[in-house]
Structure 1
Amino acid sequence: MRHLADSDAWKMFDSTHLQFSSDPRNVRLGLVADGFNPFGILSTTHSTWPVMLVPYNLPPWLCMKWSSLILSLVIPGPKSPGIAIDVYLQPLVEELRELWDVGVEAYDAFSKNVFQLHAALMWTVHDFPAYADVSGWSTKEKNVMDNILGTVLNLKDWTKDNYKARLDLADMGIRSELHLRRKGDDKYTIPPACFDMSTLEKDGFLQVLRDVRVPDGYASNISRRVNLKERKISGLKSHDNDILMQQFLPIALRGSLPSHVTRPLIKLACFFRKICSKTLTVSDIASAEADIVVTLCELEQIFPPCFFTAMVHLVMHLATEAKIGGPVQYRWMYPIERYLSHLKSYVRNRAAPKGCIAERYIVEECLTFCSRYMEGVETIFNRPTRKMEESTRAVSSVALGNRELTQAHRYVLFNSDNIYQFREMHKSLMEDELRRGHSRISNAIIHKHHMEKFCG
């Protein structure tokens, strides 16, 4: 399976709705919603919710690209819509129902005729907080990696091996070697477990993660999240946890814990790496579905019962979900979250001008930047435009400043084929000067010199 069209859900939909699937021009969509604070200021509480549609009729390398996302609506802040999100989604739902029942006239450039285009919403893509709002189900903010790191490093408020967990073992009458031991009249001690790390083992485990170096864009700077002095790791994003689980946890665990403890944890990491592959094989998914049951049973022999939260239990169903829904890279939030982070970098106005109501200004600023940048419009071309035939009045000219003129000039040059030869000339000149050993002149100065020469 390389595309969602190879999944069981897609094939079942085709067999159920033959009239829709008989025309390959009909569109299949996924709905994505997430909230974020675009201003980057902790003191400014704001939650803007873009709602996007993902067209799945595209090839694998275009499905989740930023240029393929369709901004359907923007829910302004300053607070999360919560359970009232259905009110904001109602116009979109009505349009989707119309696209499914009636369709819309569209032009086929290949056959050069007009046809009735229909669309179907295949599924929605959310993180768990947004999933709770959209579906109305109660969900929880934690993942499997939090349980593992918190327990093996014995992190306060994160570990699943605590006083109450040992009392649970005594109540269940299992693993007597881990029961609380009386020390004095009113004091008890917690005997060490097989997954407890010594101080030296914690240092070695964290040092491996501290030395991790990854390519740009692969993950955040994980080394900054490691605190060797306090022997803890914190501030990890969901994608960082995913990278740690699939890539670095098996390496860091070796030499820090006994083999009978690391073996099932490494098998768990391999399971996540297998189901998150770009290409899935049905036979491999079937074997992973059977192996994960054994892996979780092995973990139950190591960790206390409270380790197995709802999220750990959910691992049981991930292989089945991959078999039904297809490759997971089309149904997870990471491309969307990166896109929201990219949009966040465009917001420049951090405070409301004098005389403006702060809340109204923030809302207008959010709507402005979302509607412009999520449609791929460049900054200097954000001025309102109007077609000449739509107005009988004379169109007034707009005066541009020196900076805007320079930006517009360079934009035209960089998007024109006529400048290609000058780019190659610029590249060859840079290579020649570098070969002559002009190491004292930085690349930035050379670049600026030639840009001023060829671009004015």
Structure 2
Amino acid sequence: MDKDWMHMPNRFTSREYAEGIKQLLTMAKAHAPGSTTFRCLCKRCCNNIFLPITQVEDHLFTIGIDPSYTHWIFHGEDESWIANSSDSDENIDNESQNNVDDMDELLEDIRAGAFMEHDYFEQGTTSQPTMSERQSKNFEQLLDDVRCPLYPHCEKFSKLSFIVKLLHIKTIGGWTIKSFNMVLQLLKSAFPDIQLPNTYHEARRLEHGLGFSYVKIDACPNDCMLFWKDDADKETCSKCNESRWVSSRRKKGKIPQKVCRYFPLKPRLQRLFMSKNIAKSMRWHKEERVDDHSTLRHPADSKMWRQFDKDYRWFAKDARNVRLGLASDGFNPFNNMSKPYSIWPMILVPYNLPPWLCMKDPYLILSLLIPGPKAPGNDIDVYLQPLVNELKELWKEGIDTYDASKLENFQLHAALSWTINDFPAYANLSGWSTKGNMACPVCNVDTYSKWLKHGRKHCYMGHRRFLPFMHAWRKKKAAFNRSEDHRLPPPDLVGHDILHQLEQVGNTEFGKGSRKRKRTPSELNWTKRSIFFHLPYWSTLLLRHNLDVMHIEKNICDNVLGTLMDIEGKTKDTANSRRDLMELGLRKELHLQPSANGCVSVADRKISGMKSHDCHVFMQRLLPVAIGGFLPSDIRLALTELSSFFKALCARTLTLDILKRLQDDIAIILCKLEMIFPPAFFDIMVHLAIHLPREAYLAGPVQYRWMYPFERYLGKFKRYVRNKARPEGSIAQAYVHVECLSFCSLYIHDVESIHNREERNRDIDKGVDQSKHFPIFSQKVRPLGSPSSNRLDKTLFAKARWYVLNNCAEISQYIDEHYMKVKEISSENVDR
């Protein structure tokens, strides 16, 4: 057979390569008829691993055939032909021999994907080279590096593969730039012929050559506008006339006062389809997900996902079209609360991926970095313009993308499903103010609130309207507000209802320097028309902004714990709360009584330092235990039911029956709490619990829509800050560097990376020889304390023996045979 096709430069489009693979696999099947696995002859497996024929074929196309394997003795080639073959066939490329990495594959995939940032994001002068020119120049240099051996006659490493591994070890090990430069100088001194860059910054040319970068967009220091697109050449803000530049006498160019950093979304979505395994996982929600219509395990099981598929069938037709969630929160990069500074990143999560991947760090996409020192507040829409503009393009036109799993190009589209944020950020992104008498965005104009004269705040009670219409508590007066309550729950507002309300909202002036106008009564609690309504599908979504279960649970825990323990500053049972009860004429037994002895002083009680996850554990696990035996039965029962509610709501798997029960339970629980706690207890966060089961029904389990994974992700950004004078620049540079290395780690195999790292909770011990032990005994354990020996009693030993025998796959066939014999004997006895 002619074997020139083995050295074809582009195997994805070469017809000769495809025909050669077909003939080779046909010969292998004929050589071993009936066999289910064959030796894989790709460059990675090198005939050392047996795989199904379909996986062998995939490897030959995605990884490439091993060019050193010219005599196919394992796949049916006649040995007599080998003896007569010419010596010229044994001349192989030294660069490909013993190569354990796929840097050439990386560059070929980059070239095939052709994802580079677009020139229209550039805001420099025409004298500067364009983005594509710089990338093209760096890319050609990378091609030279992958062909260049690390040193003369080196067959294991190319210059590029060694640099990638060295940068990867630096990131994993937390080396400083100085230590990395010292290692480079040591290697160059010890091996004069080695081909290495001189400094860390030269080594980072890799990122620009592969298209990993971001765009700097100057902004008005008062958040009025971006110097972007048509305004890119302006010197001053068109609204507040503030100068774009820092007044300085330096002659080396102008320095902008404020810079927003944007990370283009299109190339980052394209990279999700460059890896065969990840590209296949992007179709999991349609091709592999278990769909039983009554169980919610993933957002794809939710009503909102299904409704979106019905409304936009063309989008749902291709499972590769991406559904995104947008999370946002501010953080202080200095870990010093005495120095106020707030940076706001915008993080995107692709929900196409399966549950075990979509919320992991490598798949979270940073799209925007809004600079400090002040939070953008309601002006956040100014900074969201590049992202929304790109989302509109991805919805309408899409972008041509290469799918490595199917070896084809397709038009990729994307849609934003919802936002994830805490309640103050909810107001910034949605445009509905979360303060005042209509603070609840779900109840909207039907929010029930009361102003507490002495507590100087609003309380949100009246939860009897969520009870069944004929419930007995609707007629109870003394236990609630001295009146019956026969109101219906507030209606669920749909898109056209919201648009009708937004028609009453006047023009919004953005910027810290603009004068804020007073809202008219017809505007309700709307402060602006959110920029997300520029997306064609946004108004049709059943859920646009998520209520964050993490912060709601924490605030309720703080209220309960602070009130029960009378913690100063956190308790809701204060003198002013009792005065408000007197003012409202409720629960006379709790009214303040004058005392001749004056005030009683007791020792201070205080709990501090509880984080969100601490409250999560306390609320669901410890609260029922902590209050047992210390509180009256009615209070203990109500708080225990509240704990059980959050425990059931936060389960990884939900059913429609459970959600219906939770919706009924939370209304009863809040009514019980109204009969126990003072009105000051019922702030807006306590009220929001009534809407959580509905949102779970619309959007799926809460672990895909709360802030826990994003709060942890922001912790990484804090560690990225090395230059405290420029924290945003440090974060952006470090993020792009880690993003590039995470992508490159898909193509390296002998260095620990985020993709091949062993899981902390792995149950199977790799060190156990499977040929000597049954798999049931290969579980990895983590012993605690000093060892001790103990003999099992007969009953416990019999149970352990029964468990082993019933869970050992190796002897299951003997058990089945024994069962069949017993069954036959029993049948014979019955016949007799």
TM over 0.5: yes
Q: Is the 8 A contact 2:333 2:727 kept in 1?
A: no
1:319 to 1:106, Cα distance in 2 relative to 1, 3 A: same
Matched, 1:51 2:51: no
Aligned-pair distance for 1:175?
Answer: 1.6
- What residue in structure 2 maps to residue 4 of structure 1? 299
Q: Is the 8 A contact 2:722 2:730 kept in 1?
A: no
Identity %: 52
- What residue in structure 2 maps to residue 157 of structure 1? 569
1:46-445 to 2 correspondences below 5 Å? 46-139=341-434, 143-183=555-595, 230-349=604-723, 358=725, 361-373=726-738, 375=739, 377=741, 414=752
1:73 to 1:16, Cα distance in 2 relative to 1, 3 A: same
**Quick one: distance in 2 between partners of 1:339 and 1:305?**
37
1:43 to 1:264, Cα distance in 2 relative to 1, 3 A: closer
1:30 to 1:414, Cα distance in 2 relative to 1, 3 A: closer
Q: Identify, as 1 or 2, the structure richer in helix.
A: 1
Aligned-pair distance for 1:346?
Answer: 4.0
**Quick one: distance in 2 between partners of 1:231 and 1:181?**
23
1:34-45 to 2 correspondences below 5 Å? 34-45=329-340
**Quick one: distance in 1 between partners of 2:639 and 2:608?**
20
**Quick one: distance in 2 between partners of 1:255 and 1:310?**
30
| Structure 1 spans left out of the alignment, 5+ residues | 191-197, 200-228, 352-357, 382-410, 416-422, 425-456
User: Aligned pair count?
Assistant: 340
1:68 to 1:413, Cα distance in 2 relative to 1, 3 A: closer
TM-score normalised to structure 1 length:
0.69
**Quick one: distance in 2 between partners of 1:16 and 1:413?**
46
Partner amino acid, structure 2, of 1:368: Q
**Quick one: distance in 2 between partners of 1:92 and 1:363?**
18
**Quick one: distance in 2 between partners of 1:10 and 1:263?**
37
CA deviation profile, 1:4-23 (whole Å, cap 9, x unmatched)? 11111111111111111122
Counterpart of 1:29 in 2: which secondary structure? strand
CA deviation profile, 1:204-240 (whole Å, cap 9, x unmatched)? xxxxxxxxxxxxxxxxxxxxxxxxx842112322232
- What residue in structure 2 maps to residue 449 of structure 1? none
1:21 to 1:249, Cα distance in 2 relative to 1, 3 A: same
- What residue in structure 2 maps to residue 24 of structure 1? 319
**Quick one: distance in 2 between partners of 1:172 and 1:129?**
29
Aligned-pair distance for 1:308?
Answer: 1.4
Aligned-pair distance for 1:189?
Answer: 7.4
| Structure 2 spans left out of the alignment, 5+ residues | 1-295, 436-550, 754-765, 768-832
Aligned-pair distance for 1:275?
Answer: 0.7
**Quick one: distance in 2 between partners of 1:25 and 1:94?**
21
Counterpart of 1:121 in 2: which secondary structure? strand
1:369 to 1:139, Cα distance in 2 relative to 1, 3 A: farther
Q: Is the 8 A contact 1:181 1:189 kept in 2?
A: no
TM-score normalised to structure 2 length:
0.39
Counterpart of 1:32 in 2: which secondary structure? strand
**Quick one: distance in 2 between partners of 1:22 and 1:244?**
45
Q: Which has the higher contact order (CA 8 A, sep 6+)?
A: 1
CA deviation profile, 1:88-142 (whole Å, cap 9, x unmatched)? 1100000001111111111233443322111110001111232222223333687
**Quick one: distance in 2 between partners of 1:292 and 1:413?**
51
**Quick one: distance in 2 between partners of 1:335 and 1:110?**
28
Aligned-pair distance for 1:44?
Answer: 4.0
Q: Is the 8 A contact 1:180 1:188 kept in 2?
A: no
Counterpart of 2:354 in 1: which secondary structure? coil
Aligned-pair distance for 1:172?
Answer: 2.8
Partner amino acid, structure 2, of 1:371: V
**Quick one: distance in 2 between partners of 1:172 and 1:38?**
46
- What residue in structure 2 maps to residue 452 of structure 1? none
CA deviation profile, 1:131-164 (whole Å, cap 9, x unmatched)? 2222233336872112111111112221111222
Instruction: Return the index of the structure with the highest Cα Rg.
Output: 2
Aligned-pair distance for 1:289?
Answer: 0.7
Q: Is the 8 A contact 1:181 1:188 kept in 2?
A: no
Q: Is the 8 A contact 1:38 1:366 kept in 2?
A: no
Q: Is the 8 A contact 2:328 2:345 kept in 1?
A: yes
CA deviation profile, 1:41-82 (whole Å, cap 9, x unmatched)? 345433222211100000111110001111212222222222
Partner amino acid, structure 1, of 2:420: V
**Quick one: distance in 2 between partners of 1:346 and 1:231?**
38
